[in-house]
């Protein structure tokens, strides 16, 4: 799908559909008022009678609207002008695309984002791309049909280009997560990393099982040993800055399927566990966007890929694993596997001189209990770094909330047998004890952990997003790289 600039006016443009935004609580303006005039007051009339609403995310289809050549005009609610944030822009465009992509349409003309600031325009272009891709990868009859062309009135070409890159990356993350686990196993994911589409500017290194043994990644290998699918660790390097400049490390949890292992999940909880590699998908997709945007920064992505399964070779409760860092870990629940994988991957990032680290993981159900489905948990050992990650998320309209990392939680993950155990005492504060476990592997490197167990995958569609994978936090990672290095 190609986004391009449009100069033809609303009344003249040749397209299958025109898209026009409506602000709530104020007189018609901009494209909406032009459409109203061209149609002899139709738009005002529909709003007055209550047929059409300007509530954010509401859409209304006008067929054969007088005064325009396009056979369809889509009115999209934007809510109050004062509340027009990046989230609103993204959601409005996503909702419009979801409606228009219900059937095949080749050319859409968008008058939605004229006069907006570039950040909002970019969010809209991204949202529109995302709204055209569904989760129905293997349905014979697709529910969405991407347009061949989207022409935007009043949006500069560079903003269209960056919005398209972001949208394609969000869709890449969504596709990797939505792929079923029989197809997206560790080696298959590594192959996707090799095929990363950034004109060769990202160097990809894949550690196979033998290399992981040579590197003594005992925690990652412990999780992997119950599966017939061998594990991988993928390192993706993008050097947009000079070689001496500090490197941002992005680390992702890539459990391609989490059965829980011998601490087996009930069927219900296991149904969506193909989503447990969303952290890895987010990192891969963000790297692709950062490289395609040619940001002048050095970023390295590290993803740990395993399948957590049940077999005669599975790791057991009571086993003691030796992490790459040398720390010993008593396994008391095989379903707390993500932190084991990340322990070794974080250690690699630290050892390779990461200047600062962000990790992303669908790490705990407890984080969803604490914050709900739409908000990620944010934990850190360095307040200034945490604040810059949080403010990048805010600028993109992605929701993250910081959880405390008080020292007293550390006691909960001490073991009588080994240095650490892989669960806390009881289930309370489970998102934090998981964060505390990770903290034990980053030393003094400034690090922020984003638990995306809630926002990465949604079970029910909303007006502004499909069900399934969301691609949450791809945009935030790109925004962090845009603001790199932090002050
Ligand atoms: N992958 C899960 C966490 C998860 C839950 C992600 C729901 C997405 C949606 C993780 O590996 C897990 O099973 N965590 C356990 C930890 C517990 C055993 C300490 C959990 O949250 O129950
Ligand atoms: Mn688990
Ligand atoms: Zn998991």
What pLDDT shows up at residue 228? Answer: 98
Give all domains of the chain, ordered by start, each with its CATH number: 2-153 (3.40.220.10), 171-482 (3.40.630.10)
Name residues contacting ligand 1 (CB within 6 A).
Answer: 258, 276, 333, 335-338, 362-366, 368, 423, 430, 453
Q: Which atom of ligand 1 is nearest to the CA of 333?
A: 18
Q: Which residues contact 430 (CB under 8 A, 6 or more apart)?
A: 364, 365, 366, 367, 369, 424
Distance of CA 278 from the midpoint of ligand 2 (Å): 13
Q: Which residues contact 112 (CB under 8 A, 6 or more apart)?
A: 19, 20, 21, 31, 76, 92, 93, 96, 124, 152
Residue 451: Cβ-neighbour burial (10 angstroms; 0-12, 13-18, 19+): buried
What pLDDT shows up at residue 283? Answer: 99
What pLDDT shows up at residue 286? Answer: 98
What pLDDT shows up at residue 194? Answer: 97
Half-sphere exposure of 397 (CA within 13 A, CB side): 16
Name the DSSP letter for residue 189: H
Distance of CA 10 from the midpoint of ligand 1 (Å): 50
Task: List the beta bridge partners of residue 60.
Answer: 75
What pLDDT shows up at residue 368? Answer: 98
Instruction: Let me know: does 456 contact 278? Beta carbons within 8 Å.
Output: yes
Distance CA 210, CA 231 (A): 10
Name the DSSP letter for residue 198: S
Residue 318: Cβ-neighbour burial (10 angstroms; 0-12, 13-18, 19+): exposed
> Helices 338-351 and 430-439 meet at what angle, rounded to 10?
30
What pLDDT shows up at residue 464? Answer: 77
Q: Name the residue with the closest Cα to ligand 1, atom 17.
A: 336
Q: Tokens 């067929």 map to which residue? A: 63
Instruction: Let me know: does 317 contact 263? Beta carbons within 8 Å.
Output: yes
Q: Which of 262, 340, 364, 459 to mutate to test the pocket of ligand 1 (most atoms within 8 A of CB)?
A: 364
Q: Name the residue with the closest Cα to ligand 1, atom 8.
A: 453
Which positions of the chain have pLDDT values less than 70? none
Q: Which atom of ligand 1 is nearest to the CA of 275?
A: 8
Q: Which of 296, 282, 357 is nearest to 482 (CA)?
A: 296
Task: List the beta bridge partners of residue 233.
Answer: 207, 304
Tokens matching residue 12:
């003249």
What pLDDT shows up at residue 398? Answer: 95
Distance of CA 257 from the midpoint of ligand 3 (Å): 8
> What is the bridge-based pairing of β-strands 149-153 and 2-6?
parallel
Q: Which residues contact 137 (CB under 8 A, 6 or more apart)?
A: 175, 178, 179
> What is the bridge-based pairing of β-strands 320-322 and 328-330?
antiparallel
Q: Which of 304, 334, 335, 428 to mutate to test the pocket of ligand 1 (most atoms within 8 A of CB)?
A: 335
Instruction: Let me know: does 247 contact 327? Beta carbons within 8 Å.
Output: no
| pTM, entire model | 0.98
What pLDDT shows up at residue 487? Answer: 86
Tokens matching residue 473:
């936090």
Q: Encode pLDDT of 22-42 as tens digits.
A: 999 999 999 999 999 999 999
DSSP string, 93-161: HHHHHHHHTTS--SEEEE-SSTT--HHHHHHHHHHHHHHT--S-TT-SS-S----SEEEEET--HHHHH
Q: Cα dist. 327→35, 277, 372 in Å?
A: 67, 25, 33
Q: Tokens 């998981």 map to which residue? A: 434
Distance CA 121, CA 22 (A): 16
Tokens matching residue 432:
């934090």
Looking at the annotation, which residues are catalytic?
265, 339
Q: Strand order of the sheet with strand 72-80?
A: 2-6, 149-153, 107-110, 17-24, 72-80, 59-63
Distance of CA 454 from the midpoint of ligand 3 (Å): 12
- Among the bound ligands, name the one nearest to the CA of residue 456: 1
Q: Which atom of ligand 1 is nearest to the CA of 337?
A: 11
Distance of CA 418 from the midpoint of ligand 1 (Å): 23
Q: Which of 334, 365, 472 to mutate to test the pocket of ligand 1 (most atoms within 8 A of CB)?
A: 365
Distance CA 145, CA 152 (A): 19
Half-sphere exposure of 157 (CA within 13 A, CB side): 1
Q: Encode pLDDT of 140-161 as tens digits.
A: 999 999 999 999 999 999 999 9
Q: Which residues contact 158 (CB under 8 A, 6 or more apart)?
A: none
Count the Cβ atoms, other than its own, within 10 Å of residue 399.
Answer: 19
Q: Name the residue with the closest Cα to ligand 1, atom 22.
A: 365
Evaluate the omega torsion of the peptide bond into residue 410 and state whether it is cis, within 30 degrees of 0: no
Q: Which of 487, 119, 477 is nearest to 299 (CA)?
A: 477
Task: List the beta bridge partners of residue 205.
Answer: 235
Distance of CA 386 from the midpoint of ligand 1 (Å): 23
- Among the bound ligands, name the one nearest to the CA of residue 365: 1
């Amino acid at each position: 799908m190609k986004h391009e600039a449009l100069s033809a006016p609303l009344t003249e443009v040749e397209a299958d559909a025109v898209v026009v935004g409506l602000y709530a609580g104020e007189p018609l303006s901009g494209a909406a008022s032009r459409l109203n005039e061209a149609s002899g007051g139709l738009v005002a009339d529909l709003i007055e009678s209550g047929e059409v609403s300007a509530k954010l995310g509401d859409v209304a289809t006008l067929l054969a609207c007088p005064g325009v050549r396009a056979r369809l005009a889509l009115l999209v609610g934007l809510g109050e002008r004062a509340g027009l944030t990046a989230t609103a822009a993204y959601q409005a465009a996503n909702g419009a695309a979801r409606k228009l992509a219900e059937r095949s349409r080749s050319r859409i003309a968008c008058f939605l984002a004229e006069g907006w600031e570039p950040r909002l325009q970019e969010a809209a272009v991204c949202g529109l791309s995302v709204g055209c891709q569904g989760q129905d990868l293997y349905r014979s009859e697709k529910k969405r049909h991407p347009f061949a062309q989207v022409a935007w009135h009043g949006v500069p070409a560079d903003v269209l280009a960056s919005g398209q890159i972001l949208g394609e990356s969000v869709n890449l993350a969504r596709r990797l997560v939505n792929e079923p686990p029989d197809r997206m196993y560790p080696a298959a994911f590594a192959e996707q990393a090799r095929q990363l589409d950034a004109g060769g500017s990202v160097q990809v290194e894949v550690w196979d099982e033998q290399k992981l043994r040579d590197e003594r990644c005992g925690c990652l290998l412990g999780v992997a040993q119950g599966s017939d699918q061998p594990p991988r660790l993928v390192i993706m390097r993008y050097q947009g800055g000079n070689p001496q400049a500090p490197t941002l490390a992005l680390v992702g949890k890539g459990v391609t399927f989490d059965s829980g292992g011998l601490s087996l999940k009930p069927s219900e909880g296991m149904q969506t566990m193909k989503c447990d590699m969303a952290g890895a998908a987010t990192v891969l997709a963000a790297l692709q966007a950062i490289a395609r945007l040619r940001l002048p920064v050095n970023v390295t992505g590290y993803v740990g890929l395993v399948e957590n399964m049940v077999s005669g070779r599975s790791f057991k409760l009571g086993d003691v694993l030796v992490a790459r860092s040398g720390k010993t870990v008593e396994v008391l629940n095989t379903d707390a596997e993500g932190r084991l994988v990340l322990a070794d991957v974080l250690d690699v990032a630290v050892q390779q001189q990461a200047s600062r680290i962000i990790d992303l993981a669908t790490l705990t159900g407890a984080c969803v209990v604490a914050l709900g489905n739409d908000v990620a948990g944010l934990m850190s050992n360095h307040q200034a770094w945490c604040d810059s990650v949080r403010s990048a998320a805010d600028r993109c309209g992605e929701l993250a909330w910081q959880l405390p990392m008080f020292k007293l939680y550390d006691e909960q993950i001490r073991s009588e047998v080994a240095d650490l155990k892989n669960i806390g005492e009881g289930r309370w504060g489970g998102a934090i004890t998981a964060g505390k476990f990770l903290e034990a592997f980053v030393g003094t490197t400034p690090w922020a952990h984003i638990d995306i167990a809630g926002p990465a995958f949604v079970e029910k569609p909303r007006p502004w997003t499909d069900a399934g994978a969301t691609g949450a936090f791809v945009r935030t990672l790109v925004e962090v790289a845009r603001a790199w290095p932090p002050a």
